């Protein structure tokens, strides 16, 4: 007896009279589950924002009570050159963010690497970390010209890093 004959010998399946109602009830249950999950996520996000707001307010209160005089800011006028440098710093920061996003799109580094790209990538990553450290140490107190130089170095290093990581990813895909 062949498979086709065996299949023909099976009894015919009768359609259930309540089949559509069953499908509709399952869809309604799924929508309810998704709505509850979405509500839970929204409540969790709201709670997180509330905790952050309370913590920030608490921390600001601590800073004001500990150092009331340190909150006063002395306004000194900027020269035209300093203002232009601050504008260029903002542009470089935007470029740096775009390069960071490109790196995140490229993804993680492969487990098996080529020495020809691995060493330069490690070197560039260390250089970016050092520049980031210098930027964070002098944050707010660095002269606009020095800040511009640091951000320009970071953008140049990140650009090279993105190019190398892209090449590395392309070689892996081949």
Pick the closest to residue 131 from 20, 7, 123 (CA basis).
123
User: How confident is the model over 46-67, as pLDDT tens digits?
Assistant: 888 777 777 777 766 655 555 5
Tokens read off for 145: 């010209």
Quick check: 114 and 122 in contact, CB under 8 A?
A: no
Pick the closest to residue 122 from 172, 165, 167 (CA basis).
165
Show me where the domains of the chain are located: 19-68, 74-173
Which pTM value belongs to this model?
0.51
User: How confident is the model over 17-39, as pLDDT tens digits?
Assistant: 777 788 888 899 999 988 888 88
Tokens read off for 90: 């903002």
> Which residues does 121 contact at the CB level (< 8 Å), separation at least 6?
109, 161, 164, 165, 168
């Amino acid at each position: 007896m062949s498979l086709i004959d065996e299949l023909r010998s099976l009894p015919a399946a009768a359609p259930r009279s309540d089949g559509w109602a069953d499908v509709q009830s399952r869809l309604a249950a799924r929508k309810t589950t998704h709505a509850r999950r979405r509500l839970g996520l929204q409540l969790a996000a709201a709670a997180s924002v509330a905790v952050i707001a309370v913590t920030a307010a608490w921390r600001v209160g601590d800073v004001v009570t500990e150092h009331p005089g340190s909150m006063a800011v002395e306004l000194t006028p900027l020269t035209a050159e300093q203002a232009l440098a601050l504008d260029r710093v903002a542009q470089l920061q935007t470029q740096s963010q775009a390069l960071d996003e490109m790196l995140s799109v490229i993804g993680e580094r492969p487990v098996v690497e080529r020495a020809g790209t691995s060493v330069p990538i490690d070197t560039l990553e260390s250089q970016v970390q050092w520049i980031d450290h210098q930027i964070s140490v002098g944050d707010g107190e660095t002269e606009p010209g020095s800040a511009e130089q640091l951000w320009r170095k970071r953008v140049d290093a990140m650009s090279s890093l993105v190019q190398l990581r892209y090449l590395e990813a392309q070689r892996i895909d081949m």
